[in-house]
A and B are shown apart, each in its own frame.
Chain A
Amino acid sequence: MRAQFVLSEIGVGLRRNLTMTFAVIVSVALSLALFGGSLLMSDQVNTMKGYWYDKVNVSVFLCNKSDAESDPNCAKGAVTADQKKAILGDLDKMPVVQTVTYESQDQAYKHYKEQFGDSPLAASLTPDQMQESYRIKLKDPEKYEVVATAFDGRDGVQSVQDQKGILDNLFGLLNGMNWAARAVMALMLVVALMLIVNTVRVSAFSRRRETGIMRLVGASGFYIQAPFIMEAAVAGLIGGAVACGFLVVARYFLIDNGLALSEKLNLINFIGWDAVLTKLPLILATSLVMPALAAFFALRKYLKV
């Protein structure tokens, strides 16, 4: 098979069907941009999970004097030195616990001031309104329940709080969004595939004279189909390249420049360029193979020998 002949046939086909080709490119670009976006999103959630779970604490808040009056958990009064010693001793004995740090009322007050120093509420607070607490780092952040059951309701303990629970809500939300993005992507992909099938059919129909003659002179089925399949693949590949462009530009403007989320949200560890770049070959390969397969199956019925 002569490459130049096939290439010229592809060019003719793509130009003849310019609007449909354009539609294919756009729909492939959008669906694959969504595809890449959702891949990156789950990467982002995973990085954030790794980053935050490392810092996640289970906090055992101890009763202070004002809790003793207001909180039913602290009905037996503020925590005593003996109770604190017993709690600390038990924490140290637990196998899931990695480290325990003690935060005094003064430290808690200082941290609060640092975080919310400007608010009027902070100004009215005094150190003895703050709670003493044990900040516990777990070997496995999933094992929060063990600590909670052991200390919830114990004398001197006001509450056991797991920060992972709060994060899980966030991650749940992100994951939900991610699944929604995937659903949209799947829909777009179906639209793209149907467009490709249709475009290939129109293309094959508009060239039925040529293909009829090719069949008569004994061109093989593959030789007749190749230009159409490659047309679809070329259009798909252009769409894939556009999708890659989208992702790179999105990463650039959302995270580094433009919106510059990495500066505004410096608590979040964003995915790096490597995460983006490793997705690009996958997207390009998909954009090449998927339309080619769609075209192949579309033609199987249409261009019989």
Chain B
Amino acid sequence: MIRFDSVSKVYPKQNRPALRDVSLEVEKGEFVFLVGSSGSGKSTFLRLVLREERTTHGQVHVLGKDLARLSNWKVPHMRRQLGTVFQDFRLLPNKTVAENVAFAQEVIGKSRGEIRKSVPQVLDLVGLGGKEDRRPGELSGGEQQRVAIARAFVNRPKLLIADEPTGNLDPQTSVGIMKLLDRINRTGTTVVMATHDQNIVDQMRKRVIELEKGRLVRDQARGVYGYQH
């Protein structure tokens, strides 16, 4: 699903590489936590997977494709098979919940019939049935993140990338979001989640990949957060 072969990334005008010689593999259907302090390279890792950045050295394979060889115009096609969720939700404030979710299907040219069928379905899945016509501003943070997850999942991606999805949420709400991500993972979708949330990592007992100053320092199945505060 994801394979890094001795990947390094140096941003222009910066001496210290954001990632140094990282090699790892994420299999289909896995649930992976990506942990590490700020500046450890988590975001760079995710940006490389989304091909918002290119590697300086090494190769990144996502969904069986070498991203270095993927031409620019094929990138959108690759991203359609990925879902993304962020800490700041990234919803469109002037669109309703249903429209926000439908947006992900409209931009890739799905027919109106398909959209009308799949949007309520996925909103039910994330537990927002009945709130289709609300706007993001009228929802709680947890509900907004559910909308974002619904949008990420509506095209049934094979891989879901989550960048600190619970970072803005209280612990109880976070648990709800994690249950939802776990449920999505059980449908066969691979989930890679960057997080700072110790409790969640410790509770879920999933694979943990830890980065420190751009290096891979730990790759542990059924791991804990283990980060010293």
**Which residues of chain A have a CB within 8 Å of any CB of chain B?**
1-2, 5, 209-210, 212-221, 223-224, 305
Q: Tell whether A210 pairs with B106 under 8 Å between CB atoms, given A218-B78, A219-B76.
A: no
With a cutoff of 8 Å between Cβ atoms, the chain A residues found around residue B92 in the complex are: 209-210, 213
A241 to chain B, nearest CB (A): 30
Contact across chains for B72 and A212 when beta carbons are under 8 A apart: no
B112 within 8 A of A: yes
Q: A209-B92, A218-B80, A218-B82 are in contact. Are A305 and B75 (CB under 8 A)?
A: yes
Is residue B108 contacting chain A, with contact meaning CB distance below 8 A?
yes
* From A2, A213, A218, contact of B76 by CB (8 A): A218
Question: Separation in Å of the B70 CB from the closest CB of chain A?
Answer: 11
- Chain A contact residues, majority secondary structure: helix
Complex: A215 Cα to B79 Cα, angstroms? 8
- Closest CB-CB distance, B88 to chain A, in whole Å? 10
Q: Which residues of B contact A (CB under 8 A)?
A: 50, 72-73, 75-82, 84, 90, 92, 103-104, 106-109, 112, 151, 155
Q: Are B108 and A218 in contact (CB under 8 A)?
A: yes
Residue of B76, B81, B112 touching A220 (CB-CB under 8 A): B76
A2, B113: Cα distance in complex, Å: 12
Bound Cα distance from A214 to B100, whole angstroms: 11
Contact A216 B106 (CB under 8 A): no
Residue of B nearest to A220 (CB): B76
The answer to whether A219 touches B90 (Cβ under 8 A) is no
A301 to B90, CA, bound (A): 23
CA gap between A146 and B155 in the complex, in Å: 84
A212 → B minimal CB distance (Å): 7
Q: Does the CB pair A214–B107 fall under 8 Å?
A: yes
In the bound complex, CA of A213 to CA of B91 (Å):
8
List 30 interface pairs A-B (beta carbons < 8 Å), by A numbering: A2-B106, A5-B106, A209-B90, A212-B90, A213-B90, A213-B92, A214-B103, A214-B107, A215-B76, A216-B50, A216-B79, A216-B84, A216-B90, A217-B80, A217-B84, A217-B103, A217-B107, A217-B151, A217-B155, A218-B76, A218-B78, A218-B81, A218-B82, A219-B76, A220-B76, A220-B77, A221-B72, A223-B76, A224-B107, A305-B72
Q: How far is the CA of A2 from the CA of B78 in the complex (A)?
A: 21
Q: Are B72 and A219 in contact (CB under 8 A)?
A: no
- CB <8 Å contact, A218 and B72: no
What residues of A have a CB within 8 angstroms of the CB of B82 in the complex? 218
Beyond the given pairs A223-B109, A305-B75, 10 more chain A to chain B contacts, judged by CB atoms under 8 angstroms and listed by A's residue number, are A5-B106, A212-B90, A217-B79, A217-B80, A217-B108, A217-B155, A218-B76, A219-B107, A221-B76, A223-B107
State the Cβ distance, B195 to closest chain A Cβ, in Å: 19
Tell whether, in the assembled complex, residue A221 and residue B79 are in contact, meaning their CB atoms are under 8 Å apart: no
Q: Top 5 closest A-B pairs, CB basis? A: A218-B80, A218-B79, A219-B107, A217-B104, A220-B76
Verify A220–B73 contact, CB threshold 8 A: yes
Q: Note all chain A residues with C-beta closer than 8 A to B103.
A: 213-214, 217
Interface centre among A209, A213, A214, A216, by most chain B C-beta atoms within 10 angstroms, is A216
Chain B residues with CB below 8 A from A215, complex form? 76, 79
Chain A residue contacts of B104, Cβ below 8 A = 213, 217
For B104, the closest partner residue in chain A by CB is: A217
Taking CB atoms, residues of chain B closer than 8 Å to A219 are 76, 107-108
Which residues of the partner chain B approach A212 to less than 8 Å between Cβ atoms?
90
How many whole Å from B76's CB to the nearest CB in chain A?
Answer: 4
